[in-house]
Amino acid sequence: MTLVVADYDAAIVFYRDQLGFALLADTDMGSGKRWVLVGPRDGGGTRLLLARADGPAQMAAVGDQTGGRVMGFIETDDFATEHAGMLARGVVFREDPRHEPYGTVAVFEDLYGNLWDLIEPRPQ
């Protein structure tokens, strides 16, 4: 999945240091462009290509790539521990954890304001 960002290095710091993702690739592509790939440390799940905005239209989309809707989900099997760790690392949650029929969830924002869910699904 591609995520348009304003700055490669700031995005790396957020996704690696605050969310705990692994930096999988950071390759110079020339002309100021880089191939920056992050993903879950366990190697599973979706990977994010952090693509620096190129031009005014892309820059305008940074932080609002889904029109204010949740754009992604981070699934955990230990919500309380993950939530506490994210808070300690400075992740901003928009709400307190809540219990839904599908699991425990709380919405947080990335460094640009895109919304994400931290979720522990209910056992099936």
Cα separations in angstroms, 13 against 55, 70, 119: 23, 21, 22
How high is the pLDDT of residue 45? 82
pTM tops 0.75: yes
DSSP state at residue 19: S
How high is the pLDDT of residue 16? 96
Domain 1-62, what architecture? Answer: Roll (3.10)
How high is the pLDDT of residue 61? 92
Amino acid at site 27 = T
Full pLDDT tens readout for the chain, 124 residues = 999 999 999 999 999 999 999 999 999 999 999 999 999 888 788 899 999 999 999 999 999 989 999 999 999 999 999 999 999 999 999 999 999 999 999 999 999 999 999 999 998 7
Any idea where the domains of the chain sit in the sequence? 1-62, 66-124
CATH number of 66-124: 3.10.180.10
How high is the pLDDT of residue 19? 93
CA angle 27, 17, 81 (to 5 degrees): 140
How high is the pLDDT of residue 107? 98
How high is the pLDDT of residue 108? 98
Total Cβ atoms within 10 A of residue 18: 18
The structure tokens 């462009």 sit at: 33
Fold equal for 1-62 and 66-124: yes
In whole angstroms, what is the distance from residue 2 CA to residue 11 CA?
13
